Amino acid sequence: MSAAEGPLVVGVDTSTQSTKVLVVDAATGAVVSSGQAPHTVSSGAGRESDPRQWWDALREALHQCGDAAREAAAVSIGGQQHGLVTLDELGEPVRPALLWNDVRSAPQARRLTEELGGAKFWAERTGSVPAASFTVTKWAWLAENEPEALRATRSVRLPHDYLTERLTGEGTTDRGDASGTGWWASGTEAYDEEILAHVGLDPALLPRVVRPGEVAGTVRDSHDLPFAKGTLVAAGTGDNAAAALGLGLRPGTPVLSLGTSGTVYAVAKRRPTDPTGTVAGFADAHGDWLPLACTLNCTLAVDRVAALLGLDREAVEPTAHLTLLPYLDGERTPNLPNASGVLHGLRHDTTAGELLQAAYDGAVHSLLGALDLVLDEDADRSAPLLLIGGGARGTAWQQTVRRLSGRPVQVPEAKELVALGAAAQAAGLLTGEDPAAVARRWNTARGPVLDAVERDEAALTRIAGVLSDASPLLERSAPAH
């Protein structure tokens, strides 16, 4: 390991499918060491994971980092949002965690919206209208379907909270991740007693919400991790808020993230309250807001289509007649949790490459449709889109976003932005800086800018038309078996 200019910090990304760890020089942002270990997600009726495997993956990823992790002065954990982690009196999982992309709670989402004042009430109170992704709907599903698990639960956590608590021994969360639960009021920045009472959740079961810049705790003992006892632990946050920190985002800069899910977001000064439910009014991790629109079907859906066709994911061909709505796991934007995919325009001369391009088009169309709602009125709509996530380096993804948006696209060179944002949060504990300012000092958003191309209005019109015509069918689609 080369000598670091400043203290070392550790940033963690515990995502849907793996845990990634970066050891970073707090002075320069240089990544000194890294590690990664996989998770498993059930493929049955829902999407679940045993939280204990997240800890095992964290341990494995840290050990891959070698001696660098042992020198860390602070650590922070970014994690997949919304997941419902239920723990017993010993802190052990009562059942596997219900993950964000488990859509079985769609009926509960509709019922909760109706029972408590409608969409406008929820948007004004929590910043968001409940969707099947949100934690509050998963808790309601558990109450109806597994009441014995509910009775055994002594604490309720989000995925990043679970790992932070195992490090510190203290139950904490942050405003960014708490804002995705559906039981945290964005106006008062506190748990909402009326909503908690309605769903039968004792607030004593919830973690303390740590303020931006506050220390969540210290490593209580070494466990089998390389951290020294007393190492500082930051609050951590949800994955999108962590990536925003990792980019050092300033208000109004649009981000399009291409991962397991696809998201569009920007930092905002004004608290978002969208009663249509298209935009989730999340908080960010350092005092502002992070209005966000999310699609369930992004890189995994496109990769699945490529696999079905036996194609490399880059083997696309232009199409002028084919439309594919790749709702392979239902959908969140548009809100169609029970939908399945729709293919329109198939002909004898259709090629496999055209079909793959149609999958890309369908996935990107959903994200771009929400972009104007995410951005403030005074945002510069000609500014480059920051393209991040696993798909961002794919040529087919880049070209599809450019063609359907008509905007320039910037692809930051920095990788693992969620872990990098967590590292910036940890560094902020040591320096007293805003973590976003730390990331800007590290120049994390640096990367090539791809020029704008003429927007493909014909493709946008074709996809919108198929979506409109198919909407009645999509609404009636049965859940996946």
Active site residues: 239
Residue 42 has φ and ψ, to the nearest 5°, of -60, 150
- Residue 420, classed as helix, strand or coil, is helix
Report how far residue 113's alpha carbon sits from residue 74's, in angstroms, rounded to the nearest whole number: 41
Torsion sign over Cα 106, 268, 186, 212: positive
Residue 77, both tokens: 């954990």
Residue 462, both tokens: 């074709």
Report how far residue 189's alpha carbon sits from residue 126's, in angstroms, rounded to the nearest whole number: 9
What is the bridge-based pairing of β-strands 155-157 and 232-234? Answer: unpaired
Residue 96, both tokens: 């596997």
Residue 433, both tokens: 């800086």
**Contact predicate 167/75, CB 8 Å:** yes
Report how far residue 160's alpha carbon sits from residue 251's, in angstroms, rounded to the nearest whole number: 25
Torsion sign over Cα 140, 141, 147, 152: negative
Per-residue burial over 303-334, b = 16 or more CB atoms within 10 Å of its CB, e = otherwise? ebbbeeeebebeebeebeebbbbbbbbbbbbb
Report how far residue 481's alpha carbon sits from residue 470's, in angstroms, rounded to the nearest whole number: 21
Which residues, including other chains, have CB under 8 Å from residue 121's CB and lie 6 or more apart?
none
Nearest to 187 by CA among 238, 116, 127, 128: 127
